[in-house]
Amino acid sequence: SNGDSVVTLLDYGAGNVRSLRNAIRYLGFDIKDVQTPEDIVNANRLIFPGVGAFAAAMDVLTKKGQVFFVILVEALCAYIEKDRPFLGICLGLQLLFESSEENGPVNGLGLIPGVVQRFDSSNGFRVPHIGWNALQIRKDSEILNDVGDYHVYFVHSYRAMPVHKNKDWISSTCNYGDNFIASVRRGNVHAVQFHPEKSGDVGLSVLRRFLKPKSPMAKVIACLDVRTNDKGDLVVTKGDQYDVREHTKENEVRNLGKPVELAGQYYKDGADEVTFLNITGFRDFPLGDLPMLQVLRYTSENVFVPLTVGGGIRDFTDVNGRHHSSLEVASEYFRSGADKISIGSDAVYAAEEYLRTGVKTGKSSLEQISKVYGNQAVVVSIDPRRVYVKEPNDVEFKTVRVKNLGPNGEEFAWYQCTVSGGREGRPIGAYELAQAVEELGAGEILLNCIDCDGQGNGFDIELVKLISDAVSIPVIASSGAGAVEHFSEVFNNTSASAALAAGIFHRKEFPILSVMNFSFLQKSIQWSLPY
Ligand code: 1PR
């Protein structure tokens, strides 16, 4: 997957392409410069930025007698003819045409019919055309679809005009005295007259779309922590390192809204999945807690993405002495509309026992439910807390080297699993737990982090990396999202399959999200994935 994060750049040295390089790196890609024609042949995607004058560029590319450059041009033409991913920028668009009158006429590569000519300044428009202008989309341009308001930055004196022979190539035009060609596209071959690296968010979106990764879509999951408040209403709440009470005299449970309403909202906003965690499930018996089942029933009437529900999935004997198996609890959740159930505390006990005895009894809730409903229906939710240590050998659990040292200068940490909503630490690490529950039949891991929960400072990359590398089932990174960059950060640096967040959505404090919603977020994640 490594090669997929590399962009090949044909920089023939005629101008300043630093900002393009910066934009590519900003989007999470590495740059390989073309040194030999083979570099073009072997490119996954090739960008040909053009800065400077047509004649000078063509001169460099085809210098007489310089066999190297002739081969380079041949390699470039062959690459484009084979419909390999190509993006020409500015002069990189003009060079595709037959010829240009700039310091010429000078022959171009001749792939697109037409002659590049100077703007006609006699009609009152100043030349060069320098500044922001709107694109008029002519056909499905792939890399220009849905890129904001289509305002992009131009700087050029020469342009190609639409003619009958090149009409199949034109994906957009722009008006500056005349309607010139602003972009062309045929298959995987794209070229733009404007400068995406200078066109703000719209330009970055264009670049991202060209650089699009081949990996499966990264998912964004909205999480609703649900519990009854002191008045007995089921509310969506949100903790600060798992503390969900307001720090006021009344000390009430923080109330962020109604579960069914919010789930519906996040679905409409484009969430890939919705998760409900009944955070007091460890002490309230869920089958006694009918509102939660009711929430699932109502939610699933209007929410058509996977629904996960967790909290309180375990064997239970009620006040009347009647025994309920965890399978019974899970079945009730599935019947009410859940696609997956999530097990927290009970999976910790099961993993501890399995690691102690080495025997799979088949009796744990995890094993029973995954046997009946399939692994894909069983998520294990881990609630770890970071514990700093001086040396890895100080503990029997897997440690990581931390970037930010502990309070006493510790360089290592392990992640202690907790039960009962973080109230009790257990003698098992997140790493050991993750591997054990995979063996016991978990189909997915929801990886929280008590230290990061509600802090908005980003996911615990060290933890997510540790766990996503330790298992082969999908890992959902959770806790700490506070900005769009945090999502791309976790996907770029770990092999998490999804990212779950709560506070950032509830608070609606994040301007881009309130305006442009999940779909935007998703795209920006998608495009910044390097693999
Ligand atoms: O142990 O099987 O009954 O399951 C209980 C479930 O409830 C577990 O999945 C556990 O994670 C969850 N839970 C228990 N107590 C709390 C609490 O907050 N006091 N919530 C709790 C877990 C973590 C995430 C949260 C992310 C993202 N909250 O659900 O949504 O940290 O938050 P952020 O984006 O705002 O940082 P069982």
Catalytic-labelled residue, pool 195, 432, 438, 486: 195
| Residue at which a domain ends, from 185, 210, 235 | 210
414 residue type, one letter: W
User: Does 127 share its domain with 262?
Assistant: no
Q: What is the pLDDT of residue 214?
A: 41
Ligand 1: residue whose CA is nearest its atom 5: 311
Same-domain pairing of 200 and 264: no
Buried/exposed code over 426-454 (b: 16+ C-beta within 10 A; e: otherwise):
bebbbbbbbbbbbebbbbbbbbbbbbbbb
Instruction: Calculate how far, in angstroms, residue 460's C-alpha sits from the geometric centre of ligand 1.
Output: 15
Beta carbon of 49 within 6 Å of any ligand 1 atom:
no
Q: What are phi and psi of 240, to 5 degrees?
A: -120, 105
How many angstroms separate the CA atoms of 144 and 207, rounded?
A: 9
What is the ipTM for the molecules in this complex?
0.98
Give the three-class secondary structure for 104.
coil
Query: Is 174 a residue of the active site?
Result: no
Same domain, 347 and 442: yes
Residues 253 and 273 grouped into a single domain: yes
Residue 157 has a CB neighbour count (10 Å cut-off) of 14
Last residue of a domain, one of 159, 177, 210: 210
Same domain, 372 and 499: yes
φ and ψ at residue 80, rounded to 5 degrees: -70, -40
**Looking at the domain assignment, is residue 424 inside a domain?**
no
Residue 105 Cα, ligand 1 centroid: separation in angstroms? 68
Q: Respond yes or no: is residue 324 known to be catalytic.
A: no
How far apart are the C-alpha atoms of 252 and 271, rounded to whole Å?
Answer: 29
* Helix pair 461-470, 430-440: axis angle to 10 deg: 30
Ligand 1 atom index nearest CA of 506: 35
Q: Is residue 339 flagged as an active site residue? A: no
415 within a domain of the structure (yes/no): no
> Does 506 qualify as catalytic in the annotation?
no
If you write DSSP's letter for every residue of 372-439 in order, what string do you get? HH-GGGEEEEE-EEEEEESSGGGSSS--EE-SS--TT---EEEEEEEETTTTEEEEEEHHHHHHHHHH
Query: Would 391 be classed as within a structural domain?
Result: no
Q: Is 310 in the pocket of ligand 1 (CB under 6 A)?
A: yes
One-letter amino acid at 402 equals: V
Tell me: do 202 and 61 sit in the same domain.
Answer: yes
Please state, in angstroms and rounded to a whole number, the distance separating the CA atoms of residues 86 and 30. Answer: 16
> Of 181, 210, 239, at which residue does a domain stop?
210
Catalytic position from the list 98, 102, 225, 269 = 225
Rg (CA), the chain: 28
Q: What is the pLDDT of residue 121?
A: 82
Tell me, yes or no, whether 202 and 253 share the same domain.
no
Q: Is residue 119 part of a domain?
A: yes
Question: CATH number, domain at 505?
Answer: 3.20.20.70
Q: Which two tokens stand for residue 12?
A: 């023939």
Shared domain for 224 and 167, answered yes or no, is no
Is residue 422, in this structure, part of any structural domain at all?
no
- CA dist 285 and 354 (Å) reads 25
User: What is the per-residue pLDDT for 291?
Assistant: 83
Q: Which residues pair with 31 in a beta bridge?
A: 7
Residue 90 lies in a domain: yes
Q: How far apart are the first and last CA of the chain?
A: 5
What span, in angstroms and rounded, lies between the C-alpha atoms of 77 and 109?
7
- Please check whether residue 412 lies inside any domain of the structure: no
The Cα–Cα gap between 463 and 468 comes to 8
pLDDT along the chain (531 residues), means of 10: 74 75 88 90 90 74 66 89 93 93 87 95 87 92 81 94 96 95 95 94 89 66 93 92 94 94 89 93 74 92 93 88 92 93 98 98 96 94 98 96 95 97 97 98 97 97 94 94 87 88 84 54 57 37
Q: Which domain holds residue 22?
A: 2-210
The angle formed by the CA atoms of residues 305, 311 and 312, to the nearest 5 degrees, is 135
Alpha helices in 107-253 (DSSP H): 200-210
Same domain assignment for residues 205 and 109: yes
The pLDDT of residue 522 is 64
Residue 479 Cβ contacting ligand 1 at under 6 Å: yes
Transcribe 426-461 into DSSP letters: EEEEHHHHHHHHHHHT--EEEE--TTTTTT-S---H
The count of structural domains within the chain is 2
Q: 322-337 burial, b for 16+ CB within 10 Å, e for fewer? A: eebebbebbebbbebb
**178 & 54 share domain:** yes
Same domain, 91 and 233: no
The enclosing domain of 204 has a CATH number of: 3.40.50.880
Residues 289 and 376 in one domain: yes
Predicted local distance difference test score (pLDDT) of residue 514: 46
Question: Is residue 401 situated within a structural domain?
Answer: no
